[in-house]
Structure formats: structure tokens, C-alpha cells
Structure 1
Amino acid sequence: MFRSCIVFALVAVLAACSSVPLAQREQQRQEAYASAAGTPVRSFHFFTLWSWEPLGDSQVVVYTRPSEAWLLDLDGPCQNLRFTQAIGLTSSSGTVFTRFDKVLTGRSYMPCMITQIRPVDVKQLRVTQEAQRKIDAEPREAPAAADH
């Protein structure tokens, strides 16, 4: 019993410590995509979903090619968006439209209406992400020799 309490407490402490950097990383990703996103468009051509990344519960980035991405704003929190293994997009004749097409996150979840589409400048995004990765590193002082 005592052992399981210690394990539970350790897991709770580790979870609390890791949640702060995760939220900060998510905010940085949202900011990077927002700064690289252009003005809203009505639609985009969609034939293949190359990759995708959730940015919270109401935003997702879809890559239709490695160098072509779209930032999609969704109406309200989209159930299971952060945790699903795959998403789908509805489209009409290979085109995804705002206020008409949806993001699908699974059979048992309601589709999420796309309210805004913005093209992402992938080159600018990579520059922004690289700048976020840089850190100010300073060498540590050598420990003082212990007198014995």
C-alpha cells in the first residue's frame, strides 16, 4: 500500500512538471503557424493529406504536400482532435471550402466545421521554428576542488 502511494505521488509530480512545458510548446507552435499564415482564403485544392498537426482543440494544420500547408480554424472545440491517430477532410470535387467542409476525427465524434482557411508560408514557418529552438547557453563554472 505504502509503495503504491509513493508511485502515485511520483507520477502526479512528474505529470505536473511536464504540463507546463507542453502548454508552452503548444503556444509556441500556435504562434509560429499564426505568424506564417497568410490572409484567409475561401478554399484550397485537396487530393492527398500528406501530414497534419493539431494546434489545440479548435485549430489544425494540414499539409497537402511537404511544402504546402493550410491553417484551419474550426467551430468550437473539436472532440478528440488532440488525441486521434488520423483525421479526414470532406471536400467537393477535390476542393475544401470554408463554412461547408469539415474535419473528421473519428466515427463516434461530431465533424468539425472549417470556419477559416489560411495558407501557411512553410519556409517562413521553418525559420520561425528554428529561431524558437535556439537557446542562450552559458558554460557552467567548474566545481571547486574539495579539500581533503
Structure 2
Amino acid sequence: MKRMSLLLGSILVLSACASTPTDAQRLEVYRSNAGEPVRDFRFFGRLSGWTPLGDDALVVWTRPNEAYLLELMGPCQDLDFASAIGLTSFSGQVSARFDEVIVYGGGPGVGRIPCRIQEIRPVDVKAAKVAQQELREAKIEERKRQPGQD
């Protein structure tokens, strides 16, 4: 119940912002639907998907219904513009404070520095999808209420 109240409060605050969810708003949705930090997660070299959430966080899907919020130790160069990412791992495990996100593509950044993972939190994927849909609907309603727009 506490999580739902926090989520609804976040959605109401976020709905007053711009019509398209920002990275910060999407990050808040994932943070609200992520569990406690874990030390590591299983990874066998392939991601099902990934979403940048600004320059210091992203969500990675290891399977269609299994995702992790990765908070980075600092800004990650060109994360928002990357065409692909990679993760370092050891023995099929990605570990917080040891492993890194590697950005591919994006801008002209020859010799990019890998981005160290500070924290890993498992995401409740179903709840995050519902929260994202509620956020989109709140944005649509906000646009409908703005005067002078058709």
C-alpha cells in the first residue's frame, strides 16, 4: 500500500510536467517499482533489451519479464545516444561495484571510459508497465486540459 501511495503521488506530481515523460520521470517510475538492492544478477551475454534513463541510470532486460535497474557511479558518456551497450561479467554474474556498462555507437567518443555499476535493483516489470501506462494517460489528460490546444 505504501508503494502504491508513493507511486500515485509521483504520478500526480509528474503529470504536471511536460507532455512527454522525461528521463527523470521514467527513472522515478522504475525506482518506485524496483526492489531492494542486490549484489549481482545472472547474465549469459545477451540482453533482451535496455532503456537509458539519463546519463547515470538504465534498465536492462535479461529476459522479456526480468529487468534490473542499474544506477551508475557517475555520468556515462553518450548513454542516451548509444546504438548498443554491453555489460562486463564474471562467471555469468554482473556485480554491483565491480562490473561496468560499455556504450557502443552514439557520438564520436573514441576511447570511452566504461561506466561502473554502483547499484543493482530488480524491477517488478508488470508493475512498472502499469505505472508507465498511468503516466502516459495522465500526460494525455493534462494536455486535454491545457487551454488553447486542440
Q: TM-score, normalised by structure 1?
A: 0.74
Q: CA RMSD in A?
A: 1.8
Is 1:126 the counterpart of 2:129 in the alignment?
yes
Matches within 5 A, 1:91-106: 91-106=89-104
**What is the rounded CA distance, in whole Å, between the counterparts of 2:74 and 2:22 in structure 1?**
22
The alpha-carbon deviation at position 21 of structure 1 amounts to 5.0
**Number of residue pairs aligned between Structure 1 and Structure 2:** 119
Q: Percent identity?
A: 52
Pairing of 1:18-29 with structure 2 (within 5 A):
24-29=21-26
Could you tell me how far apart the structure 2 residues matched to 1:21 and 1:85 are? 26
Q: Report the equivalent of 1:5.
A: none
Higher CA-based Rg: 1
- SS at 2:32 equivalent: helix
Corresponding position of 1:76: 74
Alignment counterpart, residue 115 of structure 1, candidates 115, 118, 129: 118
Moved beyond 4 Å, runs of 4+ = none
Q: Could you say what secondary structure the match of 1:126 adopts?
A: helix
Amino acid corresponding to residue 127 of structure 1 in structure 2: V
What stretches of structure 1 of length at least 5 have no aligned partner? 1-19, 141-148
Uncovered stretches (5+) of structure 2, i.e. residues with no partner:
1-17, 105-109
| 1:14-53 equivalences in 2 (<5 Å) | 24-47=21-44, 48-53=46-51
More strand per residue: 1 or 2? Answer: 2
- Report the equivalent of 1:87: 85
What is the distance in 2 between the residues matched to 1:126 and 1:29? 11
Q: Deviations over 1:109-148 (max 9, x none)?
A: 100110100000001101101111214357x9xxxxxxxx
TM-score (normalised: structure 2): 0.73
